[in-house]
Structure 1
Amino acid sequence: MKLRRIFCVGLLSVTMLSGCSLFGGEEDVVKMSPLPKVDNQFSPNKVWSTSVGSGIGEYYSHLRPSWQDGRIYAADRDGMVKAMDADTGKQIWKTNVVDKNYFFSSTKSAMLSGGVTAAGNHVYVGSENAIVYALNKDDGSIAWKTTVAGEAMSRPVVDGGLVLIHTTNGMLQGLNVEDGSIKWTANLDMPLLSLRGESAPATAHGAAVVGGDNGRVNAVLLDQGQLIWQQRISQPSGATEIDRLSDVDSTPIILDNVIYAIGYNGSFTALDLRSGQILWKRDMGSVNDFFIDSGKIYLVDQNDRVVALDINGGAILWTQSDLLHRGLTAPVIFNGYVVVGDAEGYLHWMDSASGYFVAQHKVDGDGFLSSPIVAGDRLVIQARGGYVYSFTR
């Protein structure tokens, strides 16, 4: 099977991009690694599965479920949002956010793409139509919807009475959680050519920290949207447009006043929260979110290597390279195992101490793009075709 190093349809965002000529020729086509042979040490137990509309199809969209108070919330691209009991998968409510009277069409897609986030009394989800929706958690009714500065590709983040939205035209906006009114807008700047997708912000000590398409990590005051500092962690370089991409699309993690962030064609970097000063860095690029657990950083790099780093200095603890170019999701830690999905619909389980495979199983023929989530004692993942699966160890 052959895959392009960067998917032409959906992964790049660019002004006046015509076709895929910028990618060059056959040298930009890579082969997906064959499925590694694994001697399964256990068989994960599928507790339930249920369909949430038509999923994301072939679109590049990181819609993934959210878990809160014993419920799983999930959505599909066309506009369906569904609340389910986390133990049984039974539907609690279902809502379609599409305005049926819009353009007198009952089939118009809402193009949901950013979310889902459950926080407080609402469930939030953004769209490529530049609309952010807040649904009441009790019954799924629409509490408010707001038109934002651009496509809302990243997950909404709620803190300090604000819903933070990072749009594809480089704007970070703070919306009032009660009515969706826009409190402030911060312009983070963006280059002509960028990857499709945006960093969701992380928050701490009254600041929002978010990656930008220009290779920088930005810190913004929550109460007024004022930029505090910027620090470059990914520098445009190389002979081709792809080599010069430097987006920071993953969500930073803030731990003990240290920010951890990674850029495409860049570095995994630890920064001081207050000043933005670089504490340490390691050459390693990715667009996927990463995970920190028990002093270790787990990530999937841009070539689909699964890597564990020491949080103190970034020393590489182990690398698992048998899944190259399989279109891996971001990793999670579940019951002591590193778990990733891939584009062919497999879940791969690795020992968190060594990176060795301990289990592998085919789940869904449509494949995965969005990462699994940990919902208490369950691992939950949504496939491209819309099915949501719940597993126990």
Structure 2
Amino acid sequence: MKKIIIYTIIMVTIASMSVAGDWPIYKGNLFFTGNNDEIIVSNNQLKWLFLAKDRVFNPVVSDGRIYFVDKNAFVYCIDEDSGNIIWLNDVRSISSQFKAYSKSAGKIKYPLVYGNTVIVSDPIAIYAFDKRTGNVIWARTGLRVDETKPQGLTGITTQISIDGIYADPIIDQDTIYYGTRKIFASRDIKNGHIIWENKDIATYSGFPVYYDQYIITQSMNYETKTFTVFCLEQRTGKVVWQRNFN
């Protein structure tokens, strides 16, 4: 039996955003304030309660709706004023078509909001939902095809696998930036198509940030135990500079 918890919405715990508010990065902005409209509520009186299926994480607000995920990979959209559910989506039902090629472990991450799109990621893929209806716009994985070494009479064969998503997505100027253990990449938010890839970067836990026309992200070489910070051109993914830390 699934554990049912009471998810208590108290107005001081949610960072409300103004008209068409975006939430393109963890905590909403580069200062990690969790408050994009700078409005502080006047009291902490309980307005409503919502029963989720299980433990929930990181609610964000956009255009009068609240978006959050639970640990069973459900994405919720509820009404900010009433607490009534508007739509609910099971991410695992979408990711199941990719799971056979993935060995990555981990949990679903916090939602991002950009325009009319909600972006969610897990170890397998990045998912784009219409924030009004919950319909899936697209889902993309780090699909990879490798050639094996020659093996007897069978020769060289190909092997399909999916790289796990380690550097959580961020969004800027209609573009999503994120990293796997093999690459750092950017995708068009409208269709999920790859814009560029940088194969010199092997990301791990955390998320990149953007500043001006640059992307700053981390990389780790597990063989040499070398950590590197990269500064990339936002438009092309080319390395501007890098610094190693042992």
Q: Same fold (TM over 0.5)?
A: yes
Q: What is the rounded CA distance, in whole Å, between the counterparts of 2:164 and 2:49 in structure 1?
A: 30
Contact persistence 2:208–2:216 (CA under 8 A): yes
Is 1:173 aligned to residue 224 of structure 2?
no
Distance in structure 2 (CA, Å) of the matches to 1:228 and 1:94: 42
- 1:166 and 1:101 map into 2 onto residues whose CA distance is 18
Q: Which moved more, 1:157-166 or 1:214-223?
A: 214-223
Structure 2 CA distance for aligned equivalents of residues 50 and 152 of structure 1: 30
**TM-score normalised by structure 2 residue count:** 0.60
Please tell me whether the aligned partners of residues 175 and 182 of structure 1 are also in contact (alpha carbons under 8 angstroms): yes
In structure 2, distance between residues paired with 1:64 and 1:188: 31
The change in CA–CA distance for 1:140 and 1:220 in structure 2 (over 3 A counts) is same
- Give, in angstroms, the shift of residue 179 of structure 1: 0.7
How far apart are residue 81 of structure 1 and its match?
A: 0.7
State the AA in 2 paired with 1:155.
D
The equivalent of 2:234 in structure 1 is 222
The yes-or-no answer on 1:143 pairing with 2:137 is yes
The root-mean-square deviation of aligned C-alpha atoms, in Å, is: 3.1
**What is aligned with 1:7?**
none
Quote the residue 2:62 is aligned against. Answer: 68
Matched, 1:121 2:116: yes
Q: Does 1:184 align with 2:178?
A: no
> Unaligned stretches of 5+ in structure 2?
1-42, 98-104, 144-162, 221-225
* 2: CA distance, partners of 1:198 / 1:77: 18
Q: 1:223-276: per-residue Cα shift (whole Å, max 9, x none)? A: 1111111134xx43xxxxxxxxxxxxxxxxxxxxxxxxxxxxxxxxxxxxxxxx
1:90 aligns with 2:84: yes
**Post-superposition shift, 1:189?**
3.8
Distance in 2, Cα, partners of 1:172 & 1:101: 21
Amino acid of the structure 1 residue aligned with 2:111: V
TM-score for the superposition, normalised by structure 1: 0.39
Match of 1:50 in 2: 50
Mapped partners of 2:196, 2:95: distance in 1: 31
Deviations 1:143-180 (A, max 9, x none): 0001126222443211122111222x152210111111
Question: How many Å separate the matches in 2 of 1:161 and 1:91?
Answer: 28
CA contact (8 A) 1:72 1:84 kept: yes
| 1-structure distance, mates of 2:205, 2:227 | 12
Q: Which of 209, 224, 227 is residue 216 of structure 2 equivalent to?
A: 209
Distance 1:207 1:101 in 2: 31
Bigger relative CO (Cα 8 Å, ≥ 6 apart): 1
Change in Cα spacing, 1:101 to 1:174, as seen in structure 2 (3 Å) is closer
Residues 346-377 of structure 1 deviation map (CA, whole Å, 9 limit, x = unaligned): xxxxxxxxxxxxxxxxxxxxxxxxxxxxxxxx
Q: Distance in 1 between matches of 2:86 and 2:185?
A: 31
Alpha-carbon contact 1:166-1:199 (below 8 Å) kept: no
Matches within 5 A, 1:342-357: none
- 2:184, 2:201 within 8 Å by CA — same for their partners in 1? no
Distance 1:113 1:45, change over 3 A: same
Cα deviation 1:306-326 (Å, max 9, x = unaligned)? xxxxxxxxxxxxxxxxxxxxx
**Distance of 2:130 and 2:237 partners within structure 1:** 27
Aligned with residue 156 of structure 1, among 158, 163, 169: 169
Tell me the distance in 1 between the aligned counterparts of 2:95 and 2:55. Answer: 23
Seq. identity, %: 21
